[in-house]
């Protein structure tokens, strides 16, 4: 029998909770809620297949992983290894509050429900107290990421150093050799290239719309902003050789456009833009939309592998169908 016996109310969503008991298989409960009566919840952003690729220097398309058994509302349910890993992580850390996870909270066998839920995603992610990006349980090279969000971020906030805009200012301020500096950034580059999450187009809406975004690699938690800003600076100002930084830089640019008043809450109908509740001229909005679409197009074309998955749920760009 299906765990989705109760039909969703119009405009409603499901949220799940994890049974805290340490038993196998993992046990989850689903509840229906209308959007205007949602409890506090967190939304998960992750990859449906494997979290990492074995060799970041080659294109590895074999991202399928094994199935794991869990129960949802007492019914048998199968999830992939990466999702099973994060559910176990939440249970072990006693993070048993409400969660929204697309693979479970949406009935994947009901095409009508999937279509309706996809069009609600631009509302779901902003309503979440936090968006958790699960990068997998592998923690290789994570020390370099912690260095970026702590030591490098801190010195970057020092205007006298940042305004110098030269590598020597940073290496001297951090008390490290040029070789150590290069090794740190190589580790950062390798960390990003090995995580499949950074290659998916669909993460754009999840990362951009979240009020607060944190990344988790195993038990290590990383702050999106404290990573994205330094990587943007290192890539653009210091000319650090980061082939992977393109992914993060463009995601941060899209977040910035959204924070500055991007086209969320608007609809693109043909070539006409209907502005609702936003004090902006058609010319201003058209310019913003152009910046959005150009950045999204660049992101999609240059870093994303195509997958047969649900389209992005932003009005006007739902034709993008890469995951």
Which residues, at least 6 apart from 246, have a Cβ–Cβ distance to it below 8 Å?
Answer: 235, 302, 303
Angle at Cα 158 formed by Cα 157 and Cα 164, nearest 5°?
110
Which residues, at least 6 apart from 36, have a Cβ–Cβ distance to it below 8 Å?
Answer: none
User: What is residue 90's predicted lDDT score, i.e. its pLDDT?
Assistant: 95
Q: What is the pLDDT of residues 271-280, one digit of tens each?
A: 222 233 333 4
In a domain, 272, yes or no: no
Which pTM does this prediction carry?
Answer: 0.80
In a domain, 8, yes or no: yes
Angle at Cα 150 formed by Cα 145 and Cα 153, nearest 5°?
95
pLDDT at residue 120 tops 50: yes
How far, CA to CA in Å, does 35 sit from each of 11, 86, 123, 274, 314?
A: 7, 25, 9, 24, 18
In a domain, 322, yes or no: no
Average pLDDT for residues 215-238, to the nearest whole number?
88
CA gap 323, 321 in Å, rounded: 7
**Roughly what angle, to the nearest 10 degrees, separates helices 178-194 and 245-259?**
70
In a domain, 305, yes or no: no
pLDDT at residue 162 tops 50: yes
In a domain, 129, yes or no: yes
Which residues, at least 6 apart from 78, have a Cβ–Cβ distance to it below 8 Å?
Answer: 67, 68, 69, 70
**Of 95, 86, 237, 109, residue with least CA distance to 161:** 237
For residue 35, give the DSSP letter: G
Task: Please give the tally of structural domains in the chain.
Answer: 1
pLDDT at residue 140 tops 70: yes
Q: What is the pLDDT of residues 292-306, one digit of tens each?
A: 454 445 444 444 443
Which residues, at least 6 apart from 270, have a Cβ–Cβ distance to it below 8 Å?
Answer: none
In a domain, 283, yes or no: no
- Residue 162 phi/psi, 5-degree rounding, is -60, -40
In a domain, 304, yes or no: no
Q: What is the pLDDT of residues 56-104, one digit of tens each?
A: 666 555 566 789 999 999 999 999 999 999 999 999 988 879 999 999 9
Q: What 3-state class would DSSP assign to 67?
A: strand
| Structural domain boundaries enclosing 202 | 1-265
In a domain, 259, yes or no: yes
Q: Out of 40-54, 135-149, 225-239, which region has the weakest mean confidence (pLDDT)?
A: 225-239
């Amino acid at each position: 029998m299906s765990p989705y016996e109760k039909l969703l109310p119009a405009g409603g969503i499901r949220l799940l909770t994890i049974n805290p008991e340490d038993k196998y298989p993992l046990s989850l409960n689903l509840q229906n809620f209308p959007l205007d009566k949602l409890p506090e919840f967190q939304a998960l952003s992750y990859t449906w297949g494997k979290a990492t690729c074995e060799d970041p220097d080659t294109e590895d398309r074999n991202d399928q992983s094994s199935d794991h058994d869990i129960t949802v509302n007492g019914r048998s349910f199968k999830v992939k290894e990466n999702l099973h890993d994060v559910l176990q992580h939440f249970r072990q850390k006693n993070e048993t509050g409400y969660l929204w996870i697309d693979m479970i909270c949406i009935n994947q066998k009901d095409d009508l429900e999937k279509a309706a839920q996809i069009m609600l995603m631009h509302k779901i992610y902003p309503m979440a107290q936090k968006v958790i990006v699960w990068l997998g349980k592998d923690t290789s090279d994570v020390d370099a990421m912690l260095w970026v969000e702590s030591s490098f971020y801190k010195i970057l906030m020092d205007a006298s150093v940042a305004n110098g805009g030269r590598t020597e200012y940073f290496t001297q301020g951090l008390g490290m050799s040029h070789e150590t500096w290069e090794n740190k950034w190589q580790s950062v580059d390798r960390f990003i290239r090995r995580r499949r999450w950074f290659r998916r187009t669909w993460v754009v809406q999840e990362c951009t719309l979240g009020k607060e975004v944190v990344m988790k690699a195993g038990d290590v938690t990383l702050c999106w902003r404290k990573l994205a800003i330094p990587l943007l600076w290192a890539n653009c100002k210091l000319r650090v050789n980061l082939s992977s930084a393109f992914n993060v830089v463009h995601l941060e640019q899209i977040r910035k456009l959204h924070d500055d008043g991007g086209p969320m809450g608007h609809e693109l109908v043909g070539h006409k833009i209907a502005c609702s509740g936003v004090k902006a001229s058609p010319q201003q909005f058209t310019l913003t939309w152009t910046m959005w679409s150009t950045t999204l197009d660049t992101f999609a074309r240059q870093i994303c592998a195509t997958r047969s998955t649900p389209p992005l749920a932003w009005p006007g760009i739902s034709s993008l169908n890469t995951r």
